[in-house]
Amino acid sequence: MEIELSYTWPIIPKYKVCEHDKYGIRQNHYVLFKQRAHSGFDITADYGTEVKSIARGKVICTGFDGTTSEGLDQFNMGYGNRIEILNDDGRRCVYGHLSEIFVKDGDYVDNNTVIGKTGCTGGSRVPHLHIEIRKENTEKTGLDYTINPLEILPEFDFSKLTLEFTEEPYAQLWKKMNSPTNPWEFSEGDVWYRENKEYIR
Ligand SMILES: [Zn+2]
């Protein structure tokens, strides 16, 4: 028997949605500057915003994950700190780029259980939550294995959002590049279009 679950938003969207936030094919990936599939939906948020579970389920995985749909990628660094929850309807849900994680494997969560806080870990330039819903309980990502979260989450009127995220868009990326633990083999000068605001995320 298929279970019908009620889904709720993990955070309330506050900032304008741009092309790069959407599920599907991205013309210019926010770190890689090339065409790439985006298997989730990105919600830009203030750093440290509480993230809630979108449905009832069980935590199956937490911690840092640098893998992407193309495997481990030292450049992109993937989801960063993430939580994976197996929702009671059999779908696996991934919450990425977190700054803090409050749950552990085996924990049961419900709608609105606070599971962590938004951050900018992994392949991320501005603080945002990557929310990914997989059709079933699989480790595989990519458009074949996921659904557009907007098809599952309650309807939300994005046209009413007028706030732009104002933090210097590349601040987080520069911070990573200039840190002693820079995970990439390139520096600030190697990134093209760094003045172009269209490449914010
Ligand atoms: Zn994303």
Question: What separation in Å is there between the alpha carbon of 17 and the centre of ligand 1?
Answer: 12
Reported as a single tens digit per residue, the pLDDT across 93-113 is 999 999 999 999 999 999 999
SS (H, E, C) 36-103: EEECCEEEECCCCCEEECCCCEEEEEEEEECEECCEECCCCCCCEEEEEEEECCCCEEEEECEEEECC
Question: What separation in Å is there between the alpha carbon of 171 and the centre of ligand 1?
Answer: 18
**What pLDDT is recorded for position 148?**
97
Question: What separation in Å is there between the alpha carbon of 188 and the centre of ligand 1?
Answer: 22
Question: What separation in Å is there between the alpha carbon of 148 and the centre of ligand 1?
Answer: 11
**What pLDDT is recorded for position 123?**
80
**What pLDDT is recorded for position 182?**
62
**What pLDDT is recorded for position 113?**
97
**What pLDDT is recorded for position 68?**
61
Question: What separation in Å is there between the alpha carbon of 129 and the centre of ligand 1?
Answer: 7
Question: What separation in Å is there between the alpha carbon of 96 and the centre of ligand 1?
Answer: 8
Question: What separation in Å is there between the alpha carbon of 40 and the centre of ligand 1?
Answer: 5
**What pLDDT is recorded for position 200?**
35
CATH annotation of 19-152+162-194: 2.70.70.10
Q: Rounded to whole angstroms, how far apart are CA atoms 168 and 86?
A: 35
**What pLDDT is recorded for position 27?**
64
Q: Which residues, other chains included, contact 177 with Cβ-Cβ below 8 Å and sequence gap of 6+?
A: 184, 186, 187, 188
Question: pTM of the full predicted structure?
Answer: 0.80
Instruction: Show the low-confidence residues of the chain (pLDDT under 50).
Output: 72-74, 169, 191-201
